[in-house]
Structures are given as C-alpha cells and as structure tokens.
Amino acid sequence: MRAKPASRVRIPPSPPAIYKPLNLKGLFFSKAHDEVFRGKAMTIRIRIIGVASGIGAQDKGCEDGPVAFHRSQAWHELEHHPFVDWGETLFAVDTPGHAPVARIAELCRRLADSVGEALDDGAFPLIIGGDHSVAIGTWSGVARFVGGPVGLLWIDAHLDSHTPETSYSGAIHGMPLACLLGRGDKRLLGLGLSGVQLDPLHTVVLGPRSWEPEEAAFLARMGVRVIGEDEIGERGLAACFAEAAAIVSGAANGFGITLDLDAFDPVAAPGVGSPEPEGLPACEVRDGLQRLAASGGLRALEIVEYNPDRDRHGITARLISDVIGDLLPQIENRRPAASQTRH
C-alpha cells in the first residue's frame, strides 16, 4: 500500500515452521568463475546499477535517488574500494504519449538485461533505486539468469502486493511483489521467466506496518510468509529475521534481498518516498543482513525508495553506504559450488 490506507488489518502470524539450517556452501556462481575457481575462494566484484525512476510513485523524488547518492559524501567514501564499481545508471525513456506502465515495463526490461549481464560477468549486482517498481526488473533478471524462480527477502513498511484491480492509489510501486508472483498488468509480467519470478514458499515480507486487506489476502493465498510489526514486537526482530533467513535461503535457485528504506524508523532514514511512523531499528536490520549474506546463496541486493528531497543532512545516504559496507566482506569472498552453473 502506498496511499492513505482505507483500512488496516492485523495479519495473523502463521505458525512458525521448521526449516533447514542455512546453506553454508554458497550458491553464488558465474560460468567463468566456476570454470576457473571451482571450489576455491574467490573475490567477487560488486557492480552497482542505479535505476533513476519515480514513475511508479506518487512522490517522484525517488527518481533523483541514485544520482544524489552517487554524488554524496557517503558514496565517495565507498567508491575507492577495490571491489566496488558503479556500473551504470538507468533512466526511464520519456516517450510522449506512453503510459507510465509502458515506461516502467521498458525500464525494467533494460534493468533485467543489466542484472543478467552483471551475473554473467561474475559480478554481484547491487541495485540502487528509484521507486520499488524497479524490483520487477531486478528479480526478473536474476530469475532468467538462474533459469528458475528465486527466493526473496522483501524488507518493507508495505506489502507492495496490489494489482490494478485492488489498488486504491493506482501507484505501481505498490504492485511489484504481486507482479513478480504472476499477478498484475500483463506488460509487467514475464519479463524474465514465463510465469512467476519468485518462489512464493521461499519469499518473506519482513517488517510491514501499513497495508490493505486485499494485499494480505493475496499473499496468504500464494503462501508467502508475512512477518509484520506486531509479530516482531512479540518475538523480537532477531528471531523473526532468523526465521525469514531460513525460509529464503532454502530456495533451490538462490535468493535475493530487496530493502525498501521506509522499513526503517524514520529517525534513521528520513529520506524515503513513503514514510511511515516507527519502523525497524537500523542496527538490528544491518546485523541480520550481514548474517544472511554470509550464509551463501545471495544472488543480488536491491536498495530502493531513496528520496533525497526528504533526507536530512545525508542521514539516509549514510545508511545506504553503511549497509553496503557491512556486506562487502560477505560478498567479496565466495566459494562457488560446482553444481551451480548457469541454466
């Protein structure tokens, strides 16, 4: 949900299941690295892909997020790292007469191609958005590269699971998870694989605190685990994060992480497109992300909804930089599994 909520329902916590421990073998691969470094530790270069789009949002300020971050002091402190490259920044084509959904579809197709190219080159794709509709391109690209649906940890204040028929606002950044699960405008479906891009049984939404009942019902039907703020308050974020990590890391084709900055407490991340009161503590989220990245199997990372117009003194840009810096040691050194070659 991305507009003023018409209603709010509590998502009943589903019974925690028993999941296999995190796979410590590691699933990150590329054709070249698998041939040359089979079974040996290797260094992975991180390729940042900016996606400067606010088309899917009501507040278009997120369009400036990637460029503003690229110019920030927070980025300048990262850019000299030997294994971090800013590969490119993609912009939506402004074609007169084209509907927003058509422009988003075109951008997401290009993003999917860029993500696939990064993976084929043996790089780790790190996407900086842009509103959350860009997730359609990111995870379509990953799924196409690996040849099957992937798991995904979706950290967000919202469920982002509307369809055009259920949306109260019509904002497409409130629909990307539904699209990746095969529901939505046909122009946004099947950009990677024919059918779903995500394995719903290995997809978790962590931290939502504002949604509408249609979204919750859809995700329940799909079998997606939703761990909302009430359950986090009862069980603690560490326990909830550990369960989420076990679910997504069990996906046969690896998994990804998409981090909407509005999941954080606005004090820690004021520069977001759709701020909500309260939120997740930044330190605990960063700790959880480090543990999950170290487990192996992480295909890509996406950080979205940075709105520099709302940022204060670069606080949110600094948080983005800190998250990237936290994960560098886990991403840089991987031990590829011989069985994980490109499909």
Of the chain, the percentage scoring pLDDT greater than 70 comes to: 84
In the residue annotation, 309 being an active-site residue is answered as: no
Catalytic residue among 158, 212, 214, 231: 158
Query: Does pLDDT of 5 surpass 80?
Result: no
* Catalytic position from the list 34, 160, 212, 229: 160
Whole-angstrom Cα distance, residue 89 to residue 70?
9
pLDDT of residue 334: 60
Helix then strand count (H, E) for the chain reads 11, 10
For residue 28, pLDDT over 90 is answered with no
33 is an active site residue: no
Tell me the residue length of the chain.
Answer: 343
Quick check: helix, strand or coil at residue 169? coil
What pLDDT was estimated at residue 2? Answer: 52
Annotated domain spans of the chain: 31-334
| Of 74 and 25, more confident | 74
Q: pLDDT: is 309 or 34 the higher one?
A: 309
294's tokens: 């170290």
Correct CATH for 31-334 of 3.40.50.20, 3.40.605.10, 3.40.800.10, 3.10.100.10: 3.40.800.10
Q: Which residue has the higher pLDDT, 182 or 39?
A: 182
Residue 279: CB partners within 8 Å, gap ≥ 6?
157, 207, 209, 262, 263, 264, 265, 266, 268, 269
**Residues 169-186, mean pLDDT to the nearest whole number:** 92
The pLDDT of 174-179, averaged and rounded, is 94
Q: Which two tokens stand for residue 97?
A: 């007469």
Residue of higher predicted confidence among 332 and 236: 236
The percent of residues above 90 in pLDDT, for the chain, comes to: 71
pLDDT at residue 281 tops 80: yes
Q: Annotated catalytic, 120? A: no
- Residue 121 a catalytic site member: no
What region does 236 belong to: left with phi over 0, alpha with psi -120 to 50, or beta?
left
Is 287 among the residues known to form the active site?
no
Active-site residue flag, 173: yes
Two tokens, residue 333: 């050194």
Catalytic-labelled residue, pool 33, 132, 162, 202: 132
Confidence tier at 247 by pLDDT (50, 70, 90): very high
Query: Does an H or E element contain 84, and which?
Result: strand 84-91
258 has pLDDT over 90: yes
Please give the backbone phi and psi of residue 171, each rounded to the nearest 5 degrees, phi first.
-75, 125
Catalytic residue among 63, 156, 231, 302: 156
What does pLDDT average to over the chain? 86
Residue 163: strand, helix, or coil: coil
Asked about 156 being catalytic, the answer comes back as yes
Options 231, 243, 260, 276, the catalytic residue? 260
Residue of 212, 262, 302, 311 marked catalytic: 262
Binned at pLDDT 50, 70 and 90, residue 64 comes out as very high
pLDDT for the residue 174: 87
Res. 39: pLDDT tops 50: no
pLDDT at 274 over 70: yes
pLDDT at 23 over 50: no
Tell me: pLDDT of 30 over 50.
no
185 as an active site residue: the answer is no
pLDDT in tens, 84-107: 999 999 999 987 778 999 999 999
DSSP letter for 82, please: T
